[in-house]
Amino acid sequence: MEEITSRDNPRIRRVCRLMDSKRTREKEGLFCCEGEKLLGEALAAGVEVVQVFLSRDLPLEQQRDRGVPTFLVPPSLMAQMSGVESPQGVLFVCRIPAPRKDLPEGACLVLEDVRDPGNVGTILRTAEAFSLPVVLTGNCAELYNPKVVRSTMGSVFRCKVFRLSRPELWKALEKRNIPLYAAALSESAQDIRQVDLKGAAVAIGNEAHGVSAEFLEHSRGQVIIPIQGAESLNAGVAAALCMWEMRR
């Protein structure tokens, strides 16, 4: 195993750019992940892992058996490469899969302008648990942002995620005869428990502003989660409750 000790090494500089820059990730078609568990999940899901960096000589034979270049770096260097305060000692680079465009029949969750990486990651993790595809539209947090990837706890490798423009989404839903409902805080919204959401698309909007007027215009109706006390719910919590109702 080759050892790298300098931050000026081209491989290390590349990883740092991938961790910090969306533009670099998009240009190179690569993204970074951290953790021994995530590495195993990426390989099991068939994701192309192109490089692995270890801060100690761990017994990780799986990536070596597949011929993935593996490098040993000192803990101090791993700390500079990592996106967390306490690195797990394993950082790896994956190739971004080809984008999905052909939305399947049936229910799906739509995120419009959900910008917090933690929210997007948590929602993807929950969506995998409910076997629901997710559509990202508008200015959502980037799917391969390290914070999003970390928050998914591995679901980023398995959850079916589609990146569609709003016009592409309208066209896809109309073609498949999938009704769209918007989760909204409005007097005209129906109690979500009273609406049959099986086979529907449900939209979660921006954390501060909710779903856009354009989305409301294209929706069959609006649904609201009845709560007491709090003014609203976190986007991740609201999405989880919507998905529960979609699968109930």
pLDDT > 80? residue 194: yes
CATH architecture for residues 2-95: 2-Layer Sandwich (3.30)
Which residues make up the CATH 3.40.1280.10 domain(s) of the chain?
A: 108-247
Strand (E) or helix (H) holding 31: strand 30-34
What's the pLDDT tens digit per position in 62-99? 666 578 899 999 999 999 999 888 898 999 999 999 99
* The pLDDT value given to residue 178: 97
Mean pLDDT value of segment 181-204: 95
Q: Are 228 and 180 in contact (CB under 8 A)?
A: no
* The pLDDT value given to residue 60: 63
Q: Are 89 and 34 in contact (CB under 8 A)?
A: no
Dihedrals phi, psi of 140, to nearest 5 degrees: -75, 160
Write down the CATH superfamily of domain 108-247: SPOUT methyltransferase, trefoil knot domain (3.40.1280.10)
Whole-model pTM: value is 0.92
Which residues make up the CATH 3.30.1330.30 domain(s) of the chain?
A: 2-95
Q: Are 36 and 88 in contact (CB under 8 A)?
A: yes
* The pLDDT value given to residue 223: 97
* The pLDDT value given to residue 105: 93
Mean pLDDT value of segment 43-51: 95
Strand (E) or helix (H) holding 34: strand 30-34
